[in-house]
């Protein structure tokens, strides 16, 4: 029983400690501020914890740091994205620095998918 609780506990912990980019984007997504769509953060989907998700629109937004450039991490990201897409989710990925220096561009890309 304890084993199945670990991902939930991890998701809760991640909601408490997020990156500056995640904080900044969450400030723009929360409370249905973007196109009136509800997003949730650090949610468990299968064995994965996604950064942001709109369950009603089946859209996931992931914010990646530099470690995602590493081959092993990149491969896991591809597997994860495939699994999520197989379940009908559209996955959008942005780099941390992209969110921090071009927030309006990031929001516009998300808006395009929401429309």
pLDDT single digits (tens) 39-50: 999 999 999 999
Q: Is the per-residue pLDDT at 17 higher than 80?
A: no
Domain total for the chain?
1
Q: Is the pLDDT of residue 3 over 70?
A: no
Which residues are bridge partners to 95 per DSSP? Answer: 64
| Contact yes or no for 64/37 (Cβ under 8 A) | no
Please report, for the domain that includes residue 50, its CATH number: 3.40.960.10
- What is the DSSP secondary-structure string of 58-94? TEEEEEE-GGGGSHHHHHHHHHHHHHHHHTT-EEEEE
Parent domain of 18? 2-114
């Amino acid at each position: 029983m304890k084993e199945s609780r670990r991902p939930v506990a991890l998701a809760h912990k991640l909601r408490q400690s997020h990156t500056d980019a995640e904080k900044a984007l969450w400030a723009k997504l929360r409370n249905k501020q973007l196109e009136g769509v509800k997003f949730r953060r650090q949610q468990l989907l299968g064995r994965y914890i996604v950064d942001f998700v709109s369950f009603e629109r089946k859209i996931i937004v992931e914010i990646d740091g530099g470690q995602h450039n590493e081959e092993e991490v990149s491969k896991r990201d591809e597997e994860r994205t495939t699994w999520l897409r197989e379940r009908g989710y559209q996955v959008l990925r942005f780099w941390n620095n992209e969110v921090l220096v071009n927030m309006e561009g990031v929001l516009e890309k998300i808006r395009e998918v929401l429309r």
